Structure 1
Amino acid sequence: MDVHEDDDRPDVLLTGLLFYDLVLTGLGRPPAPGEEIWTSGMGCGPGGIANLAVAAARFGLRTSLATVFGDDFYGAHCQEVLAGQEGVDLALSRVADAWPTPVTVSLALPGAQGAAHGHDRALVTHGQEPPYSQDTLMGDPPPARTALVHLEAEPRAWLAKAATNGTLIHADVGWDPTQQWSAALLEQLALCHAFLPNEAEAMAYTRTDSAMAALHALADLVPVAVVTRGGDGAIAVDQTTGEFAEVPALDVEVLDATGAGDVFGASFVAASLGGWPLEQRLRFAVLAAGLSVGHHGGGLAAPGWYGVDQWWRTVTDPGLRQAYGFLADRLPPNVGPPVRYAPVTPPARP
């Protein structure tokens, strides 16, 4: 799939908070106070907004990231991974003196009955408010084919500027810790081309009682509405083409679900830039997210073209071969080298 055509703009524009993630897996239960538990798995690497950046870059998208790195080991390591290893453009990013890169420790735990994929996470984060805001980093944002954004209660000025210059905004939203679910946030969808919340968020913001009802409510507000449903797959409506699609999730073994939603979003954008039909876009995003949960971390678990190609070459289930048969024509001739997953510890610096 050639997403570049003759367009020299970035394919994806991103801004947001970056974290250094340390993910622990293999825990049968959370530790009790005063208890030490040894675990069988660990991975580390850049997280937060970096999840979207890596996932997009691994599909060959020209990815421009505006974020803040601390002037510390974690910040330097994240820069090396993003720019050197993954080819993400960091020209809009800044290094902040005497500001620590936020660090998150994630414990991947067996989830409560009925939880998505049967897994849950516990997170502990150390961080401070970054010294540069998204609007400061972006300024007058460069024209881009798309932007992947995380909507917040306070609208960002750069978002309207990007929409005005022709950038197609693909947005998601996070859990509201106040549980007020202000409908005012949805007013920002007037700037967006697509909205991709999970079903809990979609139902809460639309005051509906099912994922399908939430989808129809959102379809009145944004051209492309997608609702992800964890272990139940995803549903979507594209008002620009009149398409509706509903696809199931893959039956996969989950190691770590960190960043799976980000991988879904970046994959959906990659397929959208290729002009694929809605069902193919949705299946592709579900597939990429499903492949990511078998590895540690967020972005570094993203399969990229190489991982999707490896899956397609080895899958034998007749139903999957039929449902994903479109990959035979969509996979590029050169899928690139094997992706580098999150290491247990970062390599020693020279």
Structure 2
Amino acid sequence: MSQPSPRTSPTPFDLITMGRLGVDLYPLQTGVPLAQAETFGKFLGGSPANVAVAAARLGRRTALISRTGADPFGDYLHGALRDFGVSDRWVTPVAAYQTPLTFCEIFPPDDFPLYFYRRPKAPDLEIHPGELDLDAIRAARIFWATGTGLCEEPSRAATLAALAARGRRGLTVLDLDWRPLFWGGEGGASGAGGRTGPAAMAAARPHYAAALAHATVAVGNADECEVATGERAPHAAARALLAAGVELAVVKRGPEGVLAVHRDGTTAEVPPVEVEVVNGLGAGDAFGGALCHGLLAGWPLERTLRFAGAAGALVASRLSCSAAMPTGEEIEELLGSGAGSASAPSGADAGAPRTEVPRS
């Protein structure tokens, strides 16, 4: 990145993720609006960072490519990544911008508004193509990029360069990760705002298409699939993602579970795991880390989806995101228990509501 960093490790990483990183500040009371909340917990946040944490918790060797502000919150994130077993060798500071903060309100079972503080620009959008360790990206067993990384330059060019460097080899994942706020929809993105949600979606689609042309796996919910392909219905969305170039399409369906379709004709659909939802945010990232674990293990597709869905359900039943990522033993215990008598489905969208409030 902007400072010298060690070059490729002799042992490739199991998973390298790239993109958003920040501090989550969650109220320690549920059912309380931010205006009335008095105490907060501080956690590592950002979807790619959480996916790396989730996979590390399952024993995988992981790293993150991102940037922070040159500030105490950035120092906190470096320490948190290391504590979770995620390499921070490619996480470097940007003096011009502050480390982003994200607040949420917690209204179980399905209302978790997010408030992003990423203006005038988040450091994780200042990843430049020339700073990438492309040898390490090529060597990683899985490389994971996100749609958010496509929303602004130079992150967009860097994300596409990293995906292209993979040469469609192995497992190259695009998490569709649609956040209209970052694209100018419903409140504006850094630098320019005021466009409608549909306009933001139309602006984003060509960049998603460019990324999908390099990916072998795509993961997203109905909204995200619609942005990328124009299709919302699960099977139609999966077909459209395959047509866009991927080998495996994973469509998260929230309370209806998850669908995955492989180009070879293999299809798997699994129901949700029901839990008492505390905070659905971060459950989709647990799903992603567990999905990577199953793909690396070479498990059958249905087993991988069940495992990933249970990982997401466990995180949905807990307050935090990164600190809540489960171990393999916890996931197997939940699956072995028949998922218990929980009252609210988190499923393999994995209860990952991406409710957004147009503030940042």
TM-score, normalization: structure 2? 0.75
Within the alignment, does 1:223 sit opposite 2:247 as a pair? yes
Quick one: which amino acid aligns to residue 135 of structure 1? P
Instruction: Render the CA deviation track for 1:18-68: whole Å, top value 9, x for unaligned.
Output: 11111125443646xxxx5247x8432110132112111111111121222
Match for 1:164 among 159, 167, 173?
Answer: 167
Quick one: which amino acid aligns to residue 86 of structure 1? F
Indicate how the Cα distance of structure 1 residues 179 and 79 shifts in structure 2: closer, same or farther if over 3 A, else same: same
Partner of 1:74: 73
> Taking every aligned residue pair, what percent have the same amino acid on both sides?
28
Superposed CA RMSD in Å reads 2.7
CA contact (8 A) 1:20 1:74 kept: yes
Within the alignment, does 1:91 sit opposite 2:53 as a pair? no
Within the alignment, does 1:46 sit opposite 2:44 as a pair? yes
Within the alignment, does 1:129 sit opposite 2:122 as a pair? yes
CA contact (8 A) 1:27 1:109 kept: yes
CA distance in structure 2 between the partners assigned to 1:101 and 1:207 by the alignment: 34
Within the alignment, does 1:270 sit opposite 2:293 as a pair? yes
Indicate how the Cα distance of structure 1 residues 161 and 122 shifts in structure 2: closer, same or farther if over 3 A, else same: closer
Shift of 1:91: 1.5
Match for 2:328 among 285, 305, 308?
Answer: 305
Within the alignment, does 1:149 sit opposite 2:145 as a pair? yes
Indicate how the Cα distance of structure 1 residues 59 and 137 shifts in structure 2: closer, same or farther if over 3 A, else same: farther
CA contact (8 A) 1:21 1:47 kept: yes
Shift of 1:129: 3.4
Q: Look at both structures and tell me which one has the larger radius of gyration over its CA atoms.
A: 1
1:93 aligned counterpart, secondary structure: strand
- Where in structure 2 are the equivalents of 1:182-193 lying within 5 Å? 182=202, 183-184=205-206, 185-193=208-216
Indicate how the Cα distance of structure 1 residues 220 and 51 shifts in structure 2: closer, same or farther if over 3 A, else same: same
2:81 aligned counterpart, secondary structure: helix
Is there any run of 5+ residues in structure 1 with no aligned partner, and where? 1-6, 111-116, 319-350
Match for 2:198 among 179, 201, 212?
Answer: 179
Partner of 1:344: none
Instruction: Render the CA deviation track for 1:91-119: whole Å, top value 9, x for unaligned.
Output: 22213346421111111224xxxxxx533
CA distance in structure 1 between the partners assigned to 2:146 and 2:60 by the alignment: 19
Partner of 2:111: 119
Is there any run of 5+ residues in structure 2 with no aligned partner, and where? 1-9, 186-196, 342-360
CA contact (8 A) 2:31 2:106 kept: no
CA contact (8 A) 2:163 2:172 kept: no
CA distance in structure 1 between the partners assigned to 2:135 and 2:170 by the alignment: 10
Quick one: which amino acid aligns to residue 138 of structure 1? L
2:140 aligned counterpart, secondary structure: coil
Indicate how the Cα distance of structure 1 residues 275 and 50 shifts in structure 2: closer, same or farther if over 3 A, else same: same
Deviates more, 1:302-311 or 1:248-257: 302-311
Partner of 1:257: 280
1:225 aligned counterpart, secondary structure: strand
Shift of 1:192: 0.6
CA distance in structure 2 between the partners assigned to 1:139 and 1:95 by the alignment: 17
Quick one: which amino acid aligns to residue 134 of structure 2? D
Indicate how the Cα distance of structure 1 residues 165 and 210 shifts in structure 2: closer, same or farther if over 3 A, else same: closer
